[in-house]
Amino acid sequence: MKDFEQRLSNYYDELKWLYLELYHNDTKALDYFLSMLREYAGQRSPELRAWDQKRSKQGDWYKDNRRFGMLAYADCFGETLSGVRSHLDYIKELGVNYLHLMPILKSPEGRSDGGYAVSDFRSVEPKLGTNEDLALLSSECHENGISLCLDFVMNHTSEDHEWAVLARQGDPEYQSRYFFYDDWNIPNEFEKTMPEVFPTTAPGNFTWCPEAGKVVMTTFYPYQWDLNYRNPVVFNDMTANMLYLCNLGVDIIRLDATPYIWKTLGTSCRNLPEVHTLVRLMRIACELVCPGTLLLGEIVMEPKEVVPYFGSVEKPECHLLYNVTTMASTWHTVATKDVRLLSDQLGKVFSLPKDYVFLNYLRCHDDIGWGLDYPFLGQFGVNEVAHKKFLNDYFRGYIFGSESRGELYNDDPRLGDARLCGTTASLCGIETGEYEKAPEKIQEGIALDIMLHAFLLTLSGIPILYSGDEIGQLNDYSYKEDPLKRADSRYIHRGKFDWESAKNRKKKTTREGQLYSAIRSLEKLRSANKVFMGAADTWLVPISSAEDVQGGADHPNSVLGIGRYYEGVKILAFFNFDRASKAVTTGETETYTVLADFDSLKQSAKRGASVSLDRFILPGYGFAWYIKNYKEG
């Protein structure tokens, strides 16, 4: 506890000031909060304290080039937590050292939104195992150098949570932990400025609770009751729940729906200043109790709303944030074969402080929302509603020339705000190629898939694979046969991991083998070259021209160039988002060597060849990493 008290002395003044300002000088609540922190610090095991010390000494360990993550559902990947543990050999083989398991806490079947309606924050869902199984998984992950990430659903509880049950029975103390109203007058005022999260599947932000005879705030779904963080008891107890998970060995806490946790009438109830105070307090709580823990903020919004959640250098908030805009812009580029929007977005990311660490991904458990920079696109005559329709039509295969296969989620024809679902492989056209038994289409889809992963691994930050993408897992349409899932098209990319298909990863002529070996090879190269460190300089490489080798000129802006430099080593990376080969002119006069391209992944002997980048050929859906080491002369 000596270490705790020393850390507390460093943070006490700020913690006290933030807490008492937010909670109107409630010193009793603050005293309870501090005693709770001491209690959980005292309960932390010797093994986890050693883990904390190791991580603290390493400092910015998560900012290097060796982090490689995977996102998976425990039941889909291993059926149970014990099953996940039995497959850690596969995870290590893949090179993964950051494992994010989707929600595993107790939640009611059929009313859980995929586990995001938690009925008990301190119990693992029984069908997945026990708290002891979670602790064992974490311990074995640590032995293998793997950090474990879990979701912490902080905005709401399930309507089956103990607090909600007592609130429904009329207990005023527990009703004060939510937003209850005697009639619809105040809720109707909230609705004037609060956007809807799911306008088609769960319209409105309030639900009538007949047992209590009152209206309750339910921003996401009627069975998810929003917590009232204006009540310090809520903050104290939810922070305690988070620290309880940390003491079971969880290394990264994903703060779900972070922007929504503070509500004020007359506002959008998103990204309010008090949210940042709460996140900063949670960061301090972790620094005091479990300093080896990272906070990952889930802020699925435009960049100007995302970046503030890093906080400042002096007073940081989240360690990690999702790079959601790059993900959406990447798929936009796949459909349009025009890199200008993606280039503009990357330019903004590259200009941010290098201390900021993003999680980069192609696909995840959720849908793809088209929250693009439409003012930027407007200069090219792009209309927002029409463009969203084009993108959704393209990725459903409704556009001539598209081989993609996806489905809509939460379609709103009036606003054109439908989102998109599908696995990476199916969106790349591999599903179509296999269904039509068309080898050329399969190979084209595989090339696109590999190029996108090469792009992912080029970016600074932590690349995250969605489980199954490493073997090109296709859409799973069986969800339509499950009455509990059929209304939610996101289950199309939430299918069971195909372990039989995974056996083909050793056969390099198969779809699984080509993708697995390519991704694994690229990840090894990334880990071996410090030029991929988060501290590297990054920039956009100007492309003078990108002409179709066959003479066409349908997509003159299809090639993206990215430069990286670190400690005397430079990499220039190029990506062709068009299926046609391009003759690329850059104006580069120096000679480089091939670090990786599609051919070298198949024949490693081609790696290291000298190339001139003044003008070179980039195959359709091709990529290349070219390297120059100035230290070697």
Tell me the CATH number at 603. Answer: 2.60.40.1180
Q: How confident is the model at residue 325 (pLDDT cuts 50, 70, 90)?
A: very high
Whole-number percent of the chain with pLDDT over 90: 87
Stronger pLDDT, 110 or 538, i.e. the higher one: 538
Give the number of residues written for the chain.
633
Assess contact for 456 and 525: CB atoms under 8 A: no
pLDDT at 230: 98
Chain mean pLDDT for the chain: 95
d(CA 388, CA 499): 36
Alpha helices in 337-397 (DSSP H): 340-350, 374-378, 384-394
pLDDT at 246: 98
Residue 41 has a CB neighbour count (10 Å cut-off) of 21
d(CA 250, CA 295): 11
Which of 125, 133, 251, 256 is labelled catalytic? 256
Residue 582 in domain: yes
Residue 605 in domain: yes
Look at the alpha carbons of 73, 76, 79, 82 in this order and tell me if their dihedral is positive or negative: negative
Confirm whether pTM is higher than 0.85. yes
Assess contact for 101 and 72: CB atoms under 8 A: yes
pLDDT at 545: 84
What Cα–Cα distance (Å) separates residue 386 from each residue in 51, 381, 404, 407? Answer: 52, 11, 19, 18
Closest to 575 measured CA to CA, from 589, 587, 557, 590: 557
pLDDT at 605: 60
Whole-number percent of the chain with pLDDT over 70: 98
What Cα–Cα distance (Å) separates residue 121 from each residue in 152, 248, 311? Answer: 8, 12, 27
Residues 6+ apart with CB under 8 A from 499: none
Assess contact for 544 and 556: CB atoms under 8 A: no
Write out pLDDT tens, residues 332-352.
999 999 999 999 999 999 999
pLDDT at 130: 98
Q: How confident is the model at residue 414 (pLDDT cuts 50, 70, 90)?
A: low
For residues 364-381, average pLDDT: 94
d(CA 290, CA 54): 12
Assess contact for 391 and 332: CB atoms under 8 A: yes
d(CA 233, CA 229): 8
| Phi, psi for 572 (deg, rounded to 5) | -115, 125
**Angle, CA 19 vertex, CA 16 and CA 24 arms, to 5°:** 115
Structure tokens at 584: 């690329």
Q: How confident is the model at residue 552 (pLDDT cuts 50, 70, 90)?
A: low
For residues 188-195, average pLDDT: 96
Q: Is 599 assigned a catalytic role?
A: no
Position 622 pLDDT exceeds 90: yes
Structure tokens at 4: 């705790």
Position 139 pLDDT exceeds 60: yes
Residue 354 in domain: no
What do you get for the CA distance between the two ends of the chain, in Å?
53
What crossing angle do the helices spanning 439-458 and 324-336 adopt, rounded to 10°?
150
Residues 6+ apart with CB under 8 A from 600: 594, 606, 607
Containing structural domain, residue 589: 536-632
pLDDT at 604: 67
For residues 564-585, average pLDDT: 96
pLDDT at 458: 98
* One-character DSSP codes across 101-130: E---EE--TTSSTTTTS-SEEEEE-TTT--
Burial class of 32 by CB neighbour count within 10 A (0 to 12, 13 to 18, 19+) = middle
Q: Is 409 left (phi over 0), alpha (psi -120 to 50) or beta?
A: beta
**Angle, CA 561 vertex, CA 511 and CA 604 arms, to 5°:** 45
d(CA 92, CA 272): 41
Residue 568 in domain: yes
Q: Which amino acid is at 126?
A: P
d(CA 282, CA 279): 5
Q: How confident is the model at residue 313 (pLDDT cuts 50, 70, 90)?
A: confident
Structure tokens at 212: 């209590």
Residue 595 in domain: yes
Residues 6+ apart with CB under 8 A from 209: 168, 180, 215, 216
For residues 100-129, average pLDDT: 95
Position 633 pLDDT exceeds 60: no
Q: How confident is the model at residue 587 (pLDDT cuts 50, 70, 90)?
A: confident
Q: Is 298 assigned a catalytic role?
A: yes
Residue 152 in domain: no
Residue 556 in domain: yes
* H or E element at residue 597: strand 591-597
Write out pLDDT tens, residues 220-239.
999 999 999 999 999 999 99
Assess contact for 296 and 359: CB atoms under 8 A: yes
Position 553 pLDDT exceeds 80: no
What one-character DSSP code corresponds to residue 256? E
What Cα–Cα distance (Å) separates residue 19 from each residue in 232, 470, 560? Answer: 9, 45, 47
Structure tokens at 433: 């190629």
Per DSSP, the three-state class of 69 is strand
Write out pLDDT tens, residues 298-312.
998 877 789 999 999
Position 168 pLDDT exceeds 80: yes
For residues 207-226, average pLDDT: 97
User: Given the DSSP bridges, would you call strands 462-466 and 357-361 parallel, antiparallel or unpaired?
Assistant: parallel
What Cα–Cα distance (Å) separates residue 181 from each residue in 174, 178, 190, 506, 629? Answer: 13, 10, 12, 60, 66
Which of 298, 367, 469, 523 is labelled catalytic? 298
Q: Which amino acid is at 627?
A: I
- Count up the domains in the chain and report the number: 1
Assess contact for 538 and 562: CB atoms under 8 A: yes
Residue 61 in domain: no
What crossing angle do the helices spanning 2-22 and 27-43 adopt, rounded to 10°?
150
Q: How confident is the model at residue 126 (pLDDT cuts 50, 70, 90)?
A: very high
d(CA 293, CA 251): 5
Alpha helices in 403-540 (DSSP H): 424-427, 430-435, 439-458, 499-502, 511-528
